[in-house]
Structure formats: structure tokens, C-alpha cells
Structure 1
Amino acid sequence: MRVALAQIRSSTDPAANLTQVEDFTERAAEAGASLVLFPEATMCRFGVPLAPVAQPLDGPWASAVRAVADRTGVVVVAGMFVPSGDGRVTNTLLATGPGVEARYDKIYLYDAFGFAESKTVAPGREPVVIDVGGSSGPVAVGLTLCYDIRFPELYLELAKRGAELITAHASWGTGPGKLEQWTLLARARAIDTSSVVAAVGQAYPGDEIAKVGPTGVGGSLVASAVGEVLVSAGADPQLLVCDIDLEAARKTRETVAVMSNRAEFTHTGRAQSLE
């Protein structure tokens, strides 16, 4: 299966960002990819009010992404914001293209490092797996967003639901050690689940924009089921293309066997004092 990761630098203009989606999807199609991944907040970068930008999934922005996917024959997964009904928005992945029409709403919100995403974003509740056509048939692909990558239980649930490729779409914050954490977490989640992890982030936006919130650090990568980095990007906009060896991933899942050997624990409360 050939996958493309579109490490773009989103602006605050959804129309301009849509042009980037069209350009990078066309390039992915020309490279023979069946799936192209865009970052979290592709529709509009963080650092500005999101409610005025948000649109429903049948609105003009999502409809235009669908048209790009249909025209190119590539499944597109891109981050957008959707009205939640309570004054907030959902941080959503739109997945659309041949045989695919789905949404994933970010479950774990980024209330960390001094940023409170939950003030303006309503959480999702349900993990999502889509089926994307590969060269040898449909491939189960699990979807995650940014801060989700710090929670291995979500990745384990996606793997239990059959995901062999798990995607992480981020607008990762900058700061000491943050890029290293992003890389380490993507590799760790791959090892946890014996799955391939394709992690696409926003390109670094420059020092001034980086001050307003988690607006990107670059470092997109694909990690094999044993945690090997197969391809990676620098800080600037770039299209990464990677051929994923699903048979190797399946063999890893059989031989390392962390999924089949995993124990289930029952919570029994605090241990009693022996005094």
C-alpha cells in the first residue's frame, strides 16, 4: 500500500488551505498513492477563534475536499472543525474518497502545556477504523488526532478492531524536547500494537506564529510495526511517499505477539494495609 503524508503549513484562510489540499492530493495521485494524509487543523490553523471558521460536514469546505478526492481517485484524510451544537466545535478528521466516507472526532483534548483545547472544542467518543483499498485489497486504517498519540489505550483499541495502519494527524506544539517526543510516541504506538503508524504534522510556521499555540513543528514520519522510521520530514512543507509492507507488519504481529499475549486487568481498588 502506498501512502502519502502531506506536511503542509496551514494559514487562517480555509480557501487557501483548500488549494494546498488540492495541490498535495494531485501530487500524491501522481506518485501512485491510494491514501493521502493531511494534518490536524488543515482547514485553519490554531491561534484564532475556531467557531467562526467551523462548517458542517456537508458544507462547502468538506464538499470541496470530497470533489478533490473523487477527481483524483485518492482517499483524503484532513483535519477540519465542525460546529458541535454547544457553542464549541469538534476537532474532526474528514476521510473521503473511493469507497470511504467517515469522520473521526478527537477524543483526547489538549488540555496540557498551558493550552486548554476543551474550552473551545467538544470531545469525540468513538474510535474510528476505515477500509482503504490497497494493491492487495482493503486495508483497515485507524484514525487519531495529535494528543491522542499519548494514550496507548486508543491505539490498542484500534488494533483490536483490525487496524493494520494507524494514522496520527497533528498540529504539534513547539518547545524543548517536543519534536523528539512526537517521534518517540509514534514509534512507541507502532511497537505497542504491531501496526504501522503514519504520523503527519503541520510544518513549522515560524517563531511568531508558533507563540500563539500548537501550530506545528514538522517531523512527519512513518514507523514500521517494529518502530523503525521508514521515512521522515524536516520542518518545512513536504510530501512524503511511503510503500507500506503490510505482510511484514502482519508477521510482526504474529511473532512478537504483544496483541495476542496482552492480559486484561480488573480494577479491585487500593491494596489493603498489612499492619
Structure 2
Amino acid sequence: MTEVDASRADRLRVALLQVSYGDDETLDERVERVSRWIRGLGPTDLVMLPELWAHGGFASTTWESTAEAINGPTVARMASVARDTGAWLHAGSIIERAEEDSDRGVEGRGLWNTSVLLSPQGTVHKTYRKIHRFGFGDGEPRLLEAGTDLAVTSLVRDAGVCQIGLATCYDLRFPELFRGLGALGAEVVLLPAAWPMPRVEHWRLLGRARALENQAWVLQCNTAGTHSGVEMGGHSQIVAPTGDVVAELGSGEDALIADIDLDLVATVRVDFPVLADRRIRIFSRHIGRQ
């Protein structure tokens, strides 16, 4: 377990759990194991899990059978953990099933890759349906609906309020999404992922780029292990608004615990006010023609 202490007044203690799993562990077994892990962490403000850690990031052949509504069993069990620990819990993402046939999405599939942020009281505080589906026509694009809305929300704690933006895995390759989160006030972006080992250097580099260009914290929580024949990349990392990697894990299962300095966002934006020089309207005209 890696710990970093920023020793500043306005800090957010975060724990990124780099869950490792294979094909021999059932969904229920994994949820129970991870629940015990979170309960044993000690005091934290925010705990974060990876993308599809319960349903399997590349287990697309089982998504239809294991999908569940937001109020289904996996989120309910994670909500219990949030209440017991008193922490904000980003429960990674699940394969969400539409509760009603009338809400099956524009493509009629009724399944999404949906991130869930739970409050310390165990309520669903914010959800985000992944906008950019990975697979180049297969996997996510073939089976899942695409999300249509950006997600930014307030995270309230004793020391104050910070603005949290939500993104997922493949979204990392699309800088305009992060610009949008910044425009909505995001100071910290939470990015769960199931990013494979062959492209792990892209994961590390793009995380630094998104943090640096938007002058925001980027918290990247990846999976480890091998499942569905795919070796996962690990290397979860916390990137400061300066683009510097504050802490990073290796390739195996581990926890990354750090105190991040929320004041640093305002400091960096004042000291180097690059965001004020954006010419968004010019580029928006050209993007709109596509």
C-alpha cells in the first residue's frame, strides 16, 4: 500500500483501489472481497474503484446476463460500505440495465457502462454513463448505449466543498470532454478504467496531459490481473494540476492512498492563467460542421 501526505489545510484523503481479478472469481465473491478491503482501509474522504471491476472490463459475453439497474445488488452492497465507513465512494462502473423498456436509449439496447458516486450516507449522489465506447465497432459500441451528458458534482466534507468531474477509461483519449468538465467547474476528475497492459504508457501520458492542460487533479484508478484473455495495465496514478505524478502504483493489486491539496488548483490557475487564453468559439464553429 502506497501513502502520500501533502500536509496542507484543504486536503482530500483519497484511496484508489487497484483491484486485480481473473476469470475464476465470481461477481459476488469479488464484491464481497472488495467490500472487506474498503472497510479495512481506515479514515478516508473518498474511496475509488476501477471501471467494471465487478462485471468484468472485457467480459462482454456476460454483460447482458450480469447487467443490473442502478438500484441493483452491486450498488446496494457498495452503498452499505459507504454508510459503514462514512466515506464518499466512487464505486467504479457497472453494466447498467434500463429499469423500463421506455428508457432503452436511442439505439434501443438498454445497457450502459455507468459510473456511480455514492455519498457517505449511502445514497446515489451522481451517475455518469460513459460517452466514448471502446471497441472500434465491437464490444462496447455493439452492446452498449453511449452516454450523452457530462457529469460534474459537488463533494461536500467538513473542510469545505470541491467540484468533482466524472469520466471513464477510453474518455481519456478525448481532450474536449475534459475541457467540458473544466468549463462546468471540475477541480478533480475521477477516472476509473479497465486499461490493458499493451497501451499502459498511453494511460500514463494522457493522464498527465489531461491534468496539465486543464489545471485540475486527475485520479486514475485502473484494474490489474488478467481476465477474458486480456492482461490489465495497473499503474493507477494521481496527477496534480501541474501535470506531475504525485503517486503511482505498479502492475499488481494494491491501494494508493494520498492527501491531495485542493488549494493547488486555484494556485496553479492564478500563477499560470493559460485557461483564460482559450479561443473556444473559433474551434467550436469547425467542430460543429463535423
Aligned in 2, Cα 1:251/1:43: closer, same or farther, shift over 3 Å? same
Find the aligned partners of 2:262 and 2:74 in 1 and give their Cα distance.
33
1:120-171 CA-to-partner distances (Å, cap 9, x unmatched) read 1111011111222345211111111000000111111111111111011100
Mapped partners of 1:165, 1:260: distance in 2: 19
Matched-pair contact (CA < 8 Å) for 1:145–1:168: yes
Aligned residues: 259
Matched-pair contact (CA < 8 Å) for 1:102–1:130: yes
Structure 2 Cα separation of the partners of residues 82 and 163 of structure 1: 25
Q: Which SS does the other structure have where 2:40 is aligned?
A: helix
| In 1, Cα distance between equivalents of 2:154 and 2:27 | 28
Query: Under a length normalisation based on structure 1, what TM-score does the superposition of the two structures give?
Result: 0.88
Residue 251 of structure 2 corresponds to residue 202 of structure 1? no
Q: Deviations over 1:169-209 (max 9, x none)?
A: 1000232xx1111000100000111001000000132xxx3
1:182 aligned partner: 203
Q: Is the 8 A contact 2:222 2:233 kept in 1?
A: yes
Counterparts of 1:150 and 1:217 in 2: how far apart (Å)? 16
Q: Is the 8 A contact 1:21 1:65 kept in 2?
A: no
2-side partners of 1:211 and 1:60: how far apart? 27
Q: Kindly tell me: are residues 268 and 164 of structure 1, through their superposed partners in 2, closer, same or farther at Cα, counting changes over 3 Å?
A: closer
For 2:252, the equivalent position in structure 1 comes to: 236
User: What amino acid does structure 2 have at the position aligned with 1:122?
Assistant: E
Identify which range, 60-69 or 85-94, moves more after superposition.
85-94
Which residue of 120, 132, 142 corresponds with 1:108?
Answer: 132
Give the Å deviation of 1:216: 2.1
Where do residues 74-223 of structure 1 align in structure 2 (5 Å cutoff)? 74-77=87-90, 78-84=92-98, 85=104, 86-98=108-120, 101-112=125-136, 115-175=138-198, 178-205=199-226, 209=227, 211-212=229-230, 216-223=232-239
The answer to whether the 8 A contact 2:190-2:219 is kept is yes
Please identify, of 9-18 and 237-246, the stretch whose mean Cα deviation from structure 2 is larger. 9-18
Structure 2 gaps, min length 5? 1-11, 99-103
State the match for 1:25 in structure 2: 38
Contact conserved, 1:92 with 1:106, CA < 8 A, in 2? yes
Instruction: Compute the RMSD of aligned alpha carbons.
Output: 1.9
CA distance in 2, matches of 1:43, 1:159: 29
Higher normalized contact order (CA 8 Å, seq sep 6+, divided by chain length) = 2
SS in 1 for 2:62: coil
Distance of aligned partners of 1:197 and 1:142 in 2 relative to their CA distance in 1, 3 Å threshold: same
Q: 1:115 to 1:180 in 2, by over 3 A?
A: farther
Amino acid at match of 2:127: R
Instruction: Calculate percent identity across the aligned residue pairs.
Output: 27
Q: Which runs of 5+ in 1 are unaligned?
A: 270-275
Distance 2:54 2:153 in 1: 21
8 Å CA contact 1:10–1:41 kept in 2: the answer is no
